[in-house]
Structure 1
Amino acid sequence: MSFTQKFYTADHHFGHALMLSETACARPFASTKEMDECLIDCWNSVVRKDDLVFHLGDFSMGLGDAARVESVFRRLNGRKRLVLGNHDYAKANVIHPTLAGLAWDAPPAAAMETIDEGERVYLSHYAARTWPGQHKGSFHFFGHSHGRLAPFGRSRDVGVDCPDTGYAPRTFKQLVSGMDLEPIVAEEAESFAP
């Protein structure tokens, strides 16, 4: 087996026409089919078969078309783990059965943690003002904001709509390049408290 890399991404919204609208993300595609094909190509251009991809929510829309969603999932390289986003549920606290039935590398969860490049990384769909290990230098990756929420310390959006992701999953090193890598120390964090 070749060296395995970890990648992070979010907010593909496969099949979601709203992503093309000027009132949403204004993705530059003529159709959802064109968007989906580009997103698949971008993913597969960086992710190899044995790599691990953490998808931080809102994988697909149109979850009633299980065959389409499964086809997209199968075409994506790598082992995939899902951190649940707001569009990944059928109803409150119930994962959509289409997503639950996919061959994820681990059961989908509301949040996850991993170690990458020796660093602790907290993963969630939503941005958090504080996160586990923040005062000890941990990182926080999130989605949901479609590139519209500025990084905060060691926290950032990793979604496909961020200008530096190029619609593709990115590695830890790529995502933290240019970030303020100074941890928020407890004394500074207290100044944020009410």
Structure 2
Amino acid sequence: MKFFTADTHFFHSELLGDYDFAPRDFKNITEMNETIIKNWNERVGESDTVYHLGDIALHFVRPEKQSNQDVFDLLNRLNGHLVLVKGNHDSRRLFKFLDGNNYRWDGSPKFEFHDVGTIIKLNHRQLILSHYPISLGIVNQIVNLHGHIHHYSVNAKENINVGVDTPEKDYLDYKIPFGTPFSENDLEQMIEGKRVDYLKRR
């Protein structure tokens, strides 16, 4: 099974409380990190693949090696193979550290890396996976899954924000806990829900 997420911002204390851009209602970073890990692992199995579309963590400790080690240790606790697309807050040094400590997980590498994005086919669609939203214009059966804009949404039916703060989870007719990666079924409902909503507003 494939899952999709973005903008976990593990360790990012500035997101707590009244932060304007993407406020998160947690007492502290440990509570936020542990909540995401718990909700992730309750849904994602060991052999599943999670496409993480950028901004994995912001961990401001020194030396940098310790910061990278902490992020690596946290990611090790997450189920599944992680396909990591670089976000604006993800350093190449972090990716290099993760790659240097990569290992086999259920027969395949734990981590896979993409600097800009990647393209997959799923349910007769082409999915362009990127951190930043991409303006596609008029297309058929092509959808851009992205993160970056947190609780905002692109006013185009071809763009689906799969970040943990996305407002587009409101297109689901059920609730999923904070930080839970979106499944293929969730994605289908979000794509169709936004398409219908967009056509109503034209």
User: TM-score band (shorter)?
Assistant: 0.7 to 0.9
Residue 46 (structure 1) aligns with: 43
| 1:119–1:138 contact (8 Å) kept in structure 2 | yes
Residue 145 (structure 1) aligns with: 149
Question: Aligned partners of 2:112, 2:73: CA distance in 1, in Å?
Answer: 19
Question: Aligned partners of 2:47, 2:29: CA distance in 1, in Å?
Answer: 28
The equivalent position to 1:157 in structure 2, one of 156, 161, 174, is 161
SS in structure 2 at match of 1:7 = strand
Question: Aligned partners of 2:78, 2:150: CA distance in 1, in Å?
Answer: 21
| 2:22–2:151 contact (8 Å) kept in structure 1 | no
Residue 67 (structure 1) aligns with: 69
Instruction: State the Cα RMSD in Å.
Output: 2.2
The number of aligned residues is 171
Question: Aligned partners of 1:45, 1:100: CA distance in 2, in Å?
Answer: 29
Gaps of 5+ in 1: 90-94, 182-194
| 1:122–1:140 contact (8 Å) kept in structure 2 | yes
SS in structure 2 at match of 1:129 = coil
Question: Aligned partners of 1:88, 1:128: CA distance in 2, in Å?
Answer: 19
Question: Aligned partners of 1:37, 1:11: CA distance in 2, in Å?
Answer: 15
Residues 14-57 of structure 1: CA distance to partner in whole angstroms, max 9, x if unpaired? 00011114123221100011100001111111110010000000
Question: Aligned partners of 1:69, 1:105: CA distance in 2, in Å?
Answer: 13
Residue 86 (structure 1) aligns with: 88
Residue 100 (structure 1) aligns with: 96
Q: Which has the higher helix share?
A: 2
**In the TM superposition, what is the alpha-carbon distance from 1:151 to its structure 2 partner?**
4.9
Query: 4+ residue stretches of structure 1 with deviation over 6 A?
Result: none
Gaps of 5+ in 2: 103-109, 170-175, 197-202
**In the TM superposition, what is the alpha-carbon distance from 1:153 to its structure 2 partner?**
1.2
What is the TM-score with the length of structure 1 in the denominator?
0.80
Instruction: State, as a whole percentage, how many aligned pairs show the same letter.
Output: 30
Structure 2 counterpart of 1:108, one-letter code: H
SS in structure 2 at match of 1:82 = strand
Question: Aligned partners of 2:96, 2:151: CA distance in 1, in Å?
Answer: 27
How has the CA–CA distance of structure 1 residues 16 and 145 changed in structure 2, closer, same or farther, with 3 Å as cutoff?
Answer: same
Q: Does 1:127 align with 2:139?
A: no
Question: Aligned partners of 1:55, 1:45: CA distance in 2, in Å?
Answer: 17
SS in structure 2 at match of 1:106 = strand
